[in-house]
Amino acid sequence: MLRKVCLVVLLLFCTQARSETIQLWRTLSDDDEMRTFAQQVKRYNRVHPEAKVSIEAIPHGTYADSVIGGALARDLPCILAVDQPNVANYAWAGLIQPLYVDEEYSHNLLSQDDFEHVNSNGIGIYQNKVYSLGPFDIALALFTRRSLLQELNVRIPTLEHPWSVEEFNVLLDQIQQQGLYKYIFDLNLLGVGEWPAYGFLPMLYSAGGDFVDRVEYQIAEGYLNSEGAVTWGLWLQKMLREGFIQYTSLEHGQFEKGLLAIHYTGSWMVDRYQKAIGDDLLILPPVDFGNGAYIGGGSWHYTITRNCTKPKQASKFIAYLMTNEEIAFFNRGSGFIPTSAEAANQLELYRESGALRKLYLTSERNVVLRPATPAYPAISAIFSQAVRRIAQGASVTESLDRAVDEIELNILDNRGYQ
């Protein structure tokens, strides 16, 4: 009898040991994305019953606070969704661990084969170590009407030959002189959160500026207040002064109603604008301010936390998500842009002949990632304030010099984030 009891206890113990749950936190997104992701998790769990993934979807507005609370309580999940520009800060703070260090390192959670097919916007790197991977991205673009450019006899720009800033300025003046649109150009100048850094860094970078140096990440002087950065700030003020843009939030639907001529926004608007405008819609690359046309890159990634007790098992799920087949599956269901060329080729919209092929190519070739430094959250907030001051008419040079001083003080206060 005692032997039978022991066998039963041993059997129960072994069954529990073989079946563990890997908890995952991510933001609560729209229905299509959540449904697609749930399908991926279900298929993975069917094949890996010994380490099933459990999703906890947290509303976007409270996600950052949940992560901070979980870190303080040492109660973070094994797999954590993180916005790519925050990866360096999370790594520096000790919240997450590297997925891959180098080929000599014996404790890599993933191999190079798991991510060598992934574009730069799908990889989160800090101090030459891979900390996160992401299957999707979004892309910035200029949205306008084909009929408008035809009426004005203006060439349609391409990724290879985008509009120069001089061409673009002339176009805006032509549209204004035409007098058919209530609003000429919308930059979402009052956008909050990450929008100023995400939306305007590509312009700044194209003009010859940047937030900080991208070698040691210690210096903002000569980057954020460089000649190119000042030129961009003066251009922004000119846009406001000439009435081409406005320092107000436009009412919903101005582009669809034909009241706005050109909208600078993201690929999340494609479906809505296509339904409203149809074949007259043009999706164009951003303006070249002198050094090429760029867009922001890096969206939500997945990483492994430091307190995960089963990092090898958890990393298998990330490797699964980052296969070309799963990248394609996720973006087919969610409508986002894939982060690998092979996945793009599997998707009707993004393959060689696809209607949105240009968006994929822009995200693959013309991306400027936000600086991979733990100081980035502070840099983003400081830059947002600088943009606000410039838009309100303050001296561009003084505004950018102040931002430089504030960024370098933050780095100094944190001992260089070493």
Query: pLDDT tens digit string along 71-106?
Result: 999 999 999 999 999 999 999 999 999 999 999 999
Burial 52-84 (b: 16+ CB within 10 A, else e): bbeeebbeeeebeeebeebbeeeebbbbbbbbb
pLDDT at 19: 66
Sheet holding 140-145, edge to edge: 183-186, 260-266, 140-145, 281-284
pLDDT at 4: 42
> With contact defined as beta carbons under 8 Å apart, do 232 and 396 qualify?
no
**The three-state (H, E, C) secondary structure of 211-240, written as one string:** CCCCCCCCCCCCCCCCHHHHHHHHHHHHHH
User: Which residue ranges in the chain fall short of pLDDT 50?
Assistant: 1-17
Q: Which residue from 58, 46, 43, 83 is spatially nearest to 333, judged by alpha carbons?
A: 43
pLDDT at 252: 87
Q: Specify the residue for token string 């960024």.
A: 407
pLDDT at 20: 85
H or E segment and range at residue 325: helix 324-334
State both tokens at 98.
């590297």
State both tokens at 5.
């009891």
pLDDT at 7: 38
Q: How many whole angstroms separate alpha carbon 314 and alpha carbon 99?
A: 11
Q: What are the structural domains of the chain?
A: 18-135+299-361 (3.40.190.10), 140-297+375-417 (3.40.190.10)
Q: How many whole angstroms separate alpha carbon 185 and alpha carbon 244?
A: 6
Neighbouring-strand partners of residue 260: 183
State both tokens at 328.
């394609």
**Strand runs (DSSP E) across 280-331, as ranges?**
281-284, 295-297, 300-305
DSSP string computed for 102-126: -TT-TT-SS-GGGTTTB-GGGEEEE
Give me the amino acid identity at 412: L
pLDDT at 182: 97
Q: Which residue from 158, 275, 178, 291 is spatially nearest to 232, judged by alpha carbons?
A: 291
Provide the terminal-to-terminal Cα distance of the chain, rounded to the nearest Å.
Answer: 62
The sign of the dihedral angle between the CA atoms of 384, 385, 391, 395 is negative
Sequence-distant (≥ 6) Cβ neighbours of residue 264 within 8 angstroms: 140, 141, 142, 143, 185, 186, 187, 188, 199, 286
